Amino acid sequence: MTTSPATERGGVTGRAPWPLVVPALLGLAFLVLPLAGLLVRAPWSTLPRRLAEPQVLEALRLSLVTASLATAVCLLLGVPLAWLLARASFPGRRLVRALVTVPLVLPPVVGGVALLLVLGRRGLLGQWLESTFGITLPFTTAGVVVAEAFVAMPFLVISVEGALRAADPRYEEAAATLGASRWTAFRRVTLPLVMPGVIAGAVLCWARALGEFGATITFAGNFPGTTQTMPLAVYLALETEPEAAIVLSLVLLAVSVVILASLRDRWTSSP
């Protein structure tokens, strides 16, 4: 468990069995070919000009900022929720676990409408938020973060809960015998132990938030500079200029691949 995974990976000797290799390659092709399609059709000559458009950079910046904030929100709320599901026992836990996956199943547009019904100007909580604090979420950047967090949270919760279930709870007992409260044990022992799961969950969560379209445009609307993220810009570009849409998609893909690849290297090199 504590030996570096990098050294163990090479430990299995012999050729990979082809009943695994053939479907694996087919699967890879299935995932990568659409990307190749985008690359082939990309209008490379106009690429630099399009990239320089302030709206593109604005949308990209907004996407990165909101996806990161949404991931932070998910970590803040999702890790404790995962802990509750994995460690605490309470009536209806199965139901709660099923409810956590609702945003995965719900069509995102419906999720956006649901958010409006709760947090919108006339929503159950939204009304109160506006009358008490003067806060309205729809059509604001905060609203984008809310929509993205709603849709992306299950990825984090499921990943972290799995890691917590796999982690040996006796480490928490050892911490208790050393005088650690449950909170200290969680913070200083459990959390570091499940960190790989938390990171994996955060990466999934961030990627999902970055690509979020339906819930965002429904709940937060679409306005350049405040709520128009890259996927929204891509969708609208598709209406009139499919080539522009391809460029925007490639930018989004390239940026996310670079960020994820560089983060992964950093995480796996220091276990």
Partner 1 sequence: MPKSSRWALAIPLALVLAALPACGAGQAGGTPAAEGGRTLTVFAAASLTGSFTEIGRAFEAAHPGTAVRFNFGSSATLAQQIVQGAPADVFAAASPATMKPVTDASLTAGAPVTFARNKLRIAVPAGNPAKVDALEDLADARVKVALCARQVPCGAAAVKALDAAGLKVTPVTLEQDVKATLTKVELGEVDAALVYQTDVIAAAGKVKGIAFPEADQAVNDYPVAALAKAPAGDLARRFVDLVLSRQGRQTLAAAGFEVVPAP
Partner 2 sequence: MTGPSTGPSTGPSTGRGAGLRARLVVTRPSFALDITLEVAAGEVVALLGPNGAGKTTALRALAGLTPLSAGGTITLDELPLHPLPAERRPIGMVFQNYLLFPHLSALDNVAFGPRCQGASKAEARRTAADLLRRVGLAEQASARPGRLSGGQAQRVALARALAVRPRLLLLDEPLAALDAHTRLEIRSHLRRHLAGFDGATVLVTHDPLDAMVLADRLVVVEHGSVVQQGGPAEVARRPRTDYVARLVGLNLFRGVADGHRVEVGELTFSTSERPAGAVFVAFSPAAVALYRSRPDGSPRNLWRARIDGIERHGDNVRVHLAGPIAAFADITPAALADLDLAPGQEIWASVKATETHAYPA
**Interface with partner 2 by CB under 8 A: which residues?**
1-3, 168, 170-171, 173-182, 184, 188-189, 192-193, 195
What letter would DSSP give residue 74? H
Tell me if 117 sits within 8 A of 123, measured CB to CB: yes
Decide if residue 19 touches partner 1 (CB under 8 A).
yes
Write the single-letter amino acid at 206. Answer: W
> What is the nearest approach in angstroms of partner 2 to the Cβ of residue 177?
4
- Residue whose entry in the numeric block shows the structure tokens 């949270």: 153
Task: Give CA–CA dist 27/4, Å, rounded.
Answer: 28
**Residue 235 site contact among partner 2, partner 1, none (CB < 5 to 8 Å, cut-off depends on kind):** partner 1
Alpha-carbon torsion 76, 78, 81, 82, what sign?
negative
**Residue 179 site contact among partner 2, partner 1, none (CB < 5 to 8 Å, cut-off depends on kind):** partner 2
Nearer to partner 2, 4 or 46 (CB): 4
Binding mask 241-260 for partner 1 (x = CB under 8 A): -x------------------
Helical H segments across 42-179, by residue range = 47-51, 54-87, 93-100, 102-105, 108-119, 126-133, 141-166, 170-177
**Residue 174 site contact among partner 1, partner 2, none (CB < 5 to 8 Å, cut-off depends on kind):** partner 2
- Residue whose entry in the numeric block shows the structure tokens 């972290």: 160
Nearer to partner 2, 97 or 165 (CB): 165
Which residues in this chain contact partner 1 in the complex, by CB under 8 A?
Answer: 18-19, 22-23, 26, 113, 116-117, 120-122, 138-139, 217-218, 220-224, 227-228, 232, 235-240, 242
